[in-house]
Amino acid sequence: MKFGVVIFPGSNCDHDMIYTLETIMGHEVERLWHKDSNLPDIDAIALPGGFTYGDYLRPGALARYSPIMQEVIRFANSGRPVFGICNGFQILCEAGLLSGVLLPNLSRKFICKNQYILPDNPKTAFTSKVGTKPLNIPIAHGEGRFYADDNTLNEIEENGQVLFRYCDEKGRISDDSNPNGSVNFIAGICNKQKNVYGMMPHPERAADAELGNTDGFNILESFVRWFE
């Protein structure tokens, strides 16, 4: 697969994503600058984590208006695959490509740690090849609390759009295993058409065997196999 990785001012996980897709997974990667107004010939788009535009106003609010995002929106609306990680997830929500919003953590603190997440619907690109056991994936965010109003949340649940829920090492879902207070313990969702994906945890940071954890590799490999 040939990926386009969007780089905004303030992106700080772009090289992590490029390294994982290119070096670890062996895919071709095009670097896409936020001011670009045309897309090269690519198969999928990744929006990496970071603090685009310093998170002014709110995370992703300014990045959503970068010239490249008009192309990302067109690409997604044509049914082609797009995913966003952490700040990338926030941008996708701001752009209206994913439902809901990401609010400040209930603790009002930045959280950086490994966190277990439980795959929810096995019939999605991020979950179809990962099995049913909890995955240990790093998180690093201050505004990762997923929220949607009741009608939107019901629609997300009924359509099987939840990708992962926060849990403990044994897969138990409870308030104690919810690091940021996300509604329904949601760690990631997709759109109704299941071609746009977003999650707060960082699979690209758990993809290199030298780090002793490849749970994230399995998520990204699942995505590739789904769309190949």
94 flagged as catalytic: no
13 flagged as catalytic: no
112 flagged as catalytic: no
160's CB contacts (< 8 A; 6+ apart) are 120, 121, 123, 124
The encoded tokens of residue 53 equal 């535009």
Rg for the chain, CA atoms, rounded? 16
Catalytic residue among 13, 86, 93, 190: 86
In 114-170, where does DSSP find H-type helix? 150-158
Q: How many residues does the chain have?
A: 228
Q: How far apart are CA 154 and CA 135, in angstroms?
A: 25
The encoded tokens of residue 155 equal 């629609």
Catalytically annotated residues: 86, 202, 204
